[in-house]
């Protein structure tokens, strides 16, 4: 680990940044390709620690994965699945999506990951798979799936209030279960519902029909084939959010090409948040999204329940805003790579800000950044914490960020891209 001197430009940022593919779409496409009825070609594949762990896990299970001259072009050919060892790292999509795939294998599949990952909640998805006929030892990392080549399926009731990934992890493999799956959610509202919408949209693309009840608490998938399709991955809008935030943070301009007109990525909602904080945005016909920051950022009161992954970016901007911001609906962030609410509060206060936790969010009192001072921003091995620190570093001369390498989880070239955006020569 190293302490990175975050760039602090003397003038407003003025840059165009071309972002790599979406992690969420990439990992879903990889799962569906491994379960399909023929080879699938995926272009624009994000190559990061999380997606490479997914690729490695599927290859270990038996999928045939080949790479083009461009490493973002990947062909996945399904083969009979067998026993393996799967390293989840800190990737929630690997530890929550692959167990259902492993249950379809013949043989034992052992899952483990980074030490920090062993505290992440997995019992919901593992208990659900047991109820559907899978044989699994353990309730969290490390655990072993004793694959028998098939899963009965049927009906199951779960509490997915801690993560939408519990639902998506079951839906992605459900059509390959003997009786399909009917999932009923019972509990507080599911967070990040747009990620479930993304899963359903991608399932429909491969010919799998998902029936959703009007209250969006029951999902039914009939058994059937998964059609092989070729995927073109959109830019990762959540990663883009941190770069675009440099515009409101510095009263500058940042543009991102290929911003989709319509998308299931929750990260698209960052545009509305920027506008609420006083920024102006323009989405050109060629897909170029441009954000221009105001002289002074406006505090906000926002329910981030469906876009929790954007919270670190938004919280950093709130610390630079004028007035009191309230961020609500994000209690589930306590179960991410770290307790993000506690981590954000601790680090914002460390650099002179005013942030306190509530039961389901944060209250941040900003003074346009006047009280902020340099210190070491800790990341807790969380890539979103690292990028939040980088945003604040644009306004705090001398701020250093611990373990900036953790950004490789979703964006291996983060440091060079951020420094280029800030006008710092490599």
Q: How far apart are CA 311 and CA 387, in angstroms?
A: 11
The model's pTM: 0.87
Q: Are 256 and 239 in contact (CB under 8 A)?
A: no
| pLDDT for 2 | 75
What ranges make up the beta strands (E) of 222-260?
231-232, 253-256
| pLDDT for 338 | 82
| pLDDT for 1 | 56
Q: Are 178 and 153 in contact (CB under 8 A)?
A: yes
Stretch 119-134: mean pLDDT: 95
Q: How far apart are CA 367 and CA 318, in angstroms?
A: 9
The upper half-sphere exposure of residue 43, i.e. CA atoms within 13 Å in the direction of its Cβ, equals 4
Stretch 240-264: mean pLDDT: 97
The reply to whether 328 sits in an annotated binding site is no
| pLDDT for 424 | 80
Residue burial 278-290, b: 16+ Cβ < 10 Å; e: rest? bbebeeeeeeebb
| pLDDT for 120 | 87
Query: Parallel, antiparallel, or unpaired for β 106-112 and 82-87?
Result: parallel
Length of the chain measured in residues: 426
Model confidence at 426: pLDDT above 70: no
The model's pLDDT over 131-142, given as tens digits with 9 standing for 90+, comes to: 999 999 999 999
Task: Report CA-CA distances (Å) from 383 to 408, 409, 411, 426.
Answer: 8, 7, 9, 21
Write the DSSP symbol of residue 330: -
The model's pLDDT over 307-350, given as tens digits with 9 standing for 90+, comes to: 999 999 999 999 999 999 999 999 999 977 789 999 999 999 99
Please tell me whether residue 262 adopts helix, strand or coil conformation.
coil
The model's pLDDT over 369-417, given as tens digits with 9 standing for 90+, comes to: 999 999 999 999 999 999 999 999 999 999 999 999 999 988 999 999 9
CA dihedral sign of residues 124, 127, 131, 132: positive
The reply to whether 409 sits in an annotated binding site is yes
The reply to whether 149 sits in an annotated binding site is no
The reply to whether 92 sits in an annotated binding site is yes
The reply to whether 192 sits in an annotated binding site is yes
| Tokens read off for 307 | 């876009």
The upper half-sphere exposure of residue 332, i.e. CA atoms within 13 Å in the direction of its Cβ, equals 25
The reply to whether 373 sits in an annotated binding site is no
Stretch 196-221: mean pLDDT: 96
156: Cβ contacts below 8 Å, ≥ 6 apart: 128, 131, 132, 170, 181, 182, 183, 184
Rg value, the chain, Cα: 21
- Kindly list the structural domains of the chain, giving each domain's residue range(s) and its CATH number in brackets, ordered by start: 3-20+234-421 (3.65.10.10), 23-208 (3.65.10.10)
The upper half-sphere exposure of residue 374, i.e. CA atoms within 13 Å in the direction of its Cβ, equals 12
The reply to whether 337 sits in an annotated binding site is no
| pLDDT for 325 | 98
Q: Are 325 and 254 in contact (CB under 8 A)?
A: no
Residue 41's DSSP bridge partners are 75
Write the DSSP symbol of residue 187: S
| Tokens read off for 243 | 């770069």
Percent of the chain at pLDDT exceeding 70 = 99
Which sequence positions are flagged as catalytic?
309
The reply to whether 49 sits in an annotated binding site is no
| pLDDT for 337 | 74
């Amino acid at each position: 680990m190293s302490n990175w001197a975050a760039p602090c430009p003397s003038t407003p940022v003025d840059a165009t940044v071309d972002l790599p593919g979406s992690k969420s779409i990439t990992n879903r496409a990889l799962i569906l390709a491994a379960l399909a009825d023929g080879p699938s070609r995926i272009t624009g594949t994000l190559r990061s620690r999380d997606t490479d762990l997914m690729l490695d896990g599927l290859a270990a299970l038996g999928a045939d994965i080949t790479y083009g001259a461009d490493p973002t072009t990947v062909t996945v050919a399904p083969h009979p699945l067998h026993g393996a060892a799967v390293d989840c790292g800190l990737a929630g999509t690997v530890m929550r999506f692959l167990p259902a795939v492993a249950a379809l294998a013949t043989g034992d599949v052992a899952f483990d990951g980074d030490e920090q990952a062993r505290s992440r909640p997995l019992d919901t998805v593992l208990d659900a798979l047991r109820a559907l006929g899978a044989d699994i030892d353990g309730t969290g990392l490390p655990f072993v799936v004793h694959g028998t080549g098939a899963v009965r399926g049927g009906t199951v009731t779960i509490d997915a209030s801690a993560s939408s990934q519990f639902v998506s992890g079951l839906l992605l493999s459900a059509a390959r279960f003997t009786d399909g799956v009917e999932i009923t959610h019972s509990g507080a509202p599911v967070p990040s519902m747009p990620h479930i919408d993304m899963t359903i949209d991608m399932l429909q693309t491969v010919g799998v029909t998902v029936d959703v009840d009007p209250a969006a608490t029951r999902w039914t998938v009939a058994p059937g084939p998964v059609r092989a399709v070729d995927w073109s991955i959109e830019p990762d809008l959540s990663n883009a959010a941190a770069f675009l935030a440099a515009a409101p943070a510095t009263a500058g301009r940042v543009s991102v090409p290929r911003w989709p007109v319509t998308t299931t990525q929750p990260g698209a909602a960052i545009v509305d948040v920027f506008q609420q904080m006083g920024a102006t945005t323009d989405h050109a016909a060629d897909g170029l999204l441009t954000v221009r920051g105001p002289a002074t950022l406006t505090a906000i009161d926002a329910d981030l329940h469906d876009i929790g992954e954007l919270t670190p970016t938004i919280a950093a901007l709130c610390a630079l805003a004028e007035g009191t911001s309230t961020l609500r609906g994000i209690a589930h962030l306590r179960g991410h790579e770290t307790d993000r609410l506690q981590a954000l509060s601790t680090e914002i206060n460390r650099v002179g800000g005013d942030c306190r936790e509530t039961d389901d969010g944060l209250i941040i009192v900003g003074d346009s950044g006047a009280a902020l001072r340099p210190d070491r921003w800790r990341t807790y091995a969380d890539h979103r914490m690292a990028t939040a620190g980088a945003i604040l570093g644009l306004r705090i001369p001398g701020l250093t960020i611990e373990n900036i390498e953790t950004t490789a989880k979703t964006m291996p070239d983060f440091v060079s891209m951020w420094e280029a955006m800030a006008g710092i020569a490599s």
